[in-house]
Structure 1
């Protein structure tokens, strides 16, 4: 009987600790994905502004050169635009909005910034596009700082909470 109680206690503690660490990992993922997304945006800027590639070609280059953990989104946008000839770039960005939240752990504010950029992409001349890229870069850097702060603050908290809740449940049961 003692063995079963000990095993149950260990399972409870390990489960709650795992949940705490898993939730903490979401903060790490968001920061990492924001950094990788910004790198992909820099590739896109180079392809559009300096190489003067058409948008579908530029999106393909971002997919090929960027970190696949994030760059697949640009391939999704490209495929959407190629398969839906009457749609605009913003529709392509709207198409991937749920993936930004679920797959990349982006917050609503991150997604709004990206969708705002999607509205302006491809509708003006190269000089204006360059300005839009700079604005996006500043906004993404601010989001990265926020994500770093949240990671430091909340990441440790959820790890600790997971462990403490596990011990609390064990103490409450015995």
Structure 2
């Protein structure tokens, strides 16, 4: 019975290590998706002159996972009631934030972009989109670096933490 408990502890801590490592792996992927989504938004708004709600719905269909869910929520909030684009953007971020593997840096960049959404001329909006993409690109490089440094270590630490707990209990 003691060995079964030890095995369960080691399995649980190892799985937790893999869970945390997966969050490190997902972050650069989600930032890359956000950058691509913002490029699509730029094309839809500036060149296709598509309304923001329709453009967001189109973008949500191009991606999967939390980024798609974010743009679905944004489109739904713009369509369901009279609200500003800023408020709909912020509410959408808050709704899907737990699904995203992003850090507060990316959250602030998205909030800053949302504050300008729909309030500027096309040229200024395009500049704001480029600035946001530049910030996200920097964050993506940082996230890849962290992933390279710590992903394997976190997996190993999960296993070793379980082993330590078992040894201390024996």
TM-score when normalising by structure 2: 0.92
Q: Structure 1's 69 and 102: CA in aligned 2 closer, same or farther, altered over 3 A?
A: closer
Distance 1:169 1:126 in 2: 59
Structure 1 counterpart of 2:56, from 59, 69, 78: 59
Contact kept in structure 2, 1:40 and 1:67, CA below 8 Å: no
Q: Larger Rg: 1 or 2?
A: 1
Distance 1:40 1:91 in 2: 19
Q: Which runs of 5+ in 2 are unaligned?
A: none
How many residues are paired up? 170
Structure 2 counterpart of 1:21, from 13, 18, 21: 18
Q: Which runs of 5+ in 1 are unaligned?
A: none
Match of 2:93 in 1: 97
Match of 1:32 in 2: 29
TM-score when normalising by structure 1: 0.90
Determine whether 1:5 maps to 2:2: yes
Q: Structure 1's 113 and 100: CA in aligned 2 closer, same or farther, altered over 3 A?
A: farther
Structure 1 stretches of 4+ moved >6 Å? none
CA RMSD of the aligned region, Å?
A: 1.5
Match of 1:134 in 2: 130
